[in-house]
Amino acid sequence: MEATLNIPGKAINDKLLYYLDICARCGACSDACHFYVTTKEPPHAPAYRMELLRRIYRRQYTWSGKIFTKLFKTNGVGSGEFLEEFKKAAFECTGCRRCTVFCPFGIDMGAFVGLMRSMLYRAGRGNEILDMLADTAISKGEMIKELQETFAETIRNLEERLRKETGDPSFKIPVGVKGARILYVALAGEHSIIPAAKIFNKVGENWTLSLFEASNYGYFTGNIEKAKKIAERIVNEAKHLGVKTIVISECGHAYRVFKHLVPTWFSGFNFEVKSIVELVADYVREGKLEVEGKVVEEPITYHDPCQLARNGGVIEEPRMLLKLVAKDYRELTPSGEKNWCCGGGGGLVAIPELYELRMKAGKAKAEQIRRSGARIVATACENCKLQLNDLNRYYNLGLKITGVIDLVAEAI
């Protein structure tokens, strides 16, 4: 079986050529990769991914690769075996970019993985589950008028429940409010709406809830056009409502997409983008929000989501919030930009057949949590929570997994 895997001409730029040429195969990236350190399989080594791309580039764009196929290892490119290896390399990677941090040349492997997934998608060899999830989000955007009343009724019911729970008869979850300062983009499910709503009501924030969810599976598929369509719904909503700031729920990849990619996709994008964790930290610094005390008695630690911390720069804010509510905060080693990936990002947590691989890849994370002695692990990403819960069961860690904002909402 053969497949055409081509690097599109628009992807051939100085950055790509520089990285393909400069990689020294030193192995620093492999030692930093949570997949490779546990499986030792070549497609999991970032430098080997580079080699697979290099073979395609040589075959496609160089006379030497076209003529001396055996010498430059381009004779097998296009075979079914090569295709499977290439797909394994592309989709058995979380795009965490820990390898980039440890690479002496700073080679951005995450960008290459995105390119590889895009190449597979164009060749009709993308991941069907991720593609289906992206299409579902796009369909929802196209049917939003039909779904609005159902959504409004759900929010009204939730609002009534929270009025009883909080004892505040004026408790509101506003939707579609023009002129609001903040558009809060939650995830599917009330669990990402309730804690934020409690905090917004507490500080008297002028906010409105988005009709759409933050997740962007188009980003995971490698299909940039689908990713743009999913993001565009929220951009148009923000423009229509005239908000100043788009606040993203505890979701690593959604934050990165909106903070770093969306502004380059759409002209006239002039919104401030913040993670809910950054915003709540601002409330505390400005004296708008106070916690009642240390509500967390057991030892607690924080897992840095790769897209939020290493790739987004949000490192200090969640720690500040956790130290406000916890008596015994413990740091993982390593942490911050060098933190081990949990193993569930890049859309992998949504792919059932990769469960065992995810558990293997998450071994480094499980071990560092166990070493910390923490009984509670807080994080600020939905995919991380799902993966950490799986690791908790798989490795019998006996942990409670929670969100940073959940704990803050509990403490006010």
Q: H/E/C letters for each residue in 257-293?
A: HHHHHHHHHCCCCCCEEEEHHHHHHHHHHCCCCCCCC
- Please, are residues 241 and 145 in contact by the beta-carbon 8 Å criterion? no
* pLDDT band at residue 3 using 50, 70 and 90 as cut-offs: low
Architecture of the domain made up of 300-411: 3-Layer(aba) Sandwich (3.40)
pLDDT in tens, 377-400: 999 999 999 999 999 999 999 999
- Per residue in 247-292, pLDDT (tens digit) is 999 999 999 999 999 999 999 899 999 999 999 999 999 999 998 8
The domain 9-126 having CATH identifier 1.10.1060: the answer here is yes
Check whether 4 has a pLDDT greater than 80: no
Instruction: Kindly tell me if the per-residue pLDDT of 164 is higher than 60.
Output: yes
Cα separation, 232 vs 144, in Å, equals 13
DSSP sequence for 59-116: HHH-HHHHH-TTTTT-TTTTSHHHHHHHHHHHHS-----HHHHH-TT---HHHHHHHH
User: What are the backbone angles phi and psi of residue 209, rounded to the nearest 5°?
Assistant: -90, 135
For 185-228, write each residue's pLDDT tens digit. Answer: 999 999 999 999 999 999 999 999 999 999 999 999 989 999 99
* Both tokens assigned to 240: 């229509």
143 has a pLDDT exceeding 50: yes
pLDDT tens figures, 92-111: 999 999 999 999 999 999 88
Q: Is 73 left (phi over 0), alpha (psi -120 to 50) or beta?
A: left
Phi-psi region of 249 (alpha: psi -120 to 50; beta: other; left: phi over 0): beta
**CB-based contacts of 59, cutoff 8 Å, min separation 6:** 65, 66, 69, 72, 74, 77, 78
d(CA 90, CA 116): 6
The CATH 3.40.50 domain(s) of the chain lie at 131-285, 300-411
CATH number 2.60.40 given to 131-285: no
Contact in structure between 344 and 384 (CB atoms under 8 Å): yes
pLDDT at 63: 87
- Listed residue (354, 357, 366, 367) closest to 391, CA to CA: 366
pLDDT at 79: 85
Residues 247, 283: contact at Cβ < 8 Å? Answer: no
pLDDT for residue 146 is more than 90: no
Query: What is the percent of the chain with per-residue pLDDT over 90, rounded to a whole number?
Result: 87
Helix (H, G, I), strand (E, B) or coil at 401: strand
In terms of DSSP H, where are the helices of 191-244?
194-203, 217-221, 224-241
- For CATH 1.10.1060, the residue range(s) in the chain are 9-126
Largest CA distance in the chain: 77
- Give residue 1's pLDDT: 41
pLDDT digits (tens, 9 = 90+) for 27-79: 899 999 999 999 999 999 999 999 999 999 999 999 888 887 887 777 878 78
Rounded distance between C-alpha atoms, residue 117 and residue 304, angstroms: 25
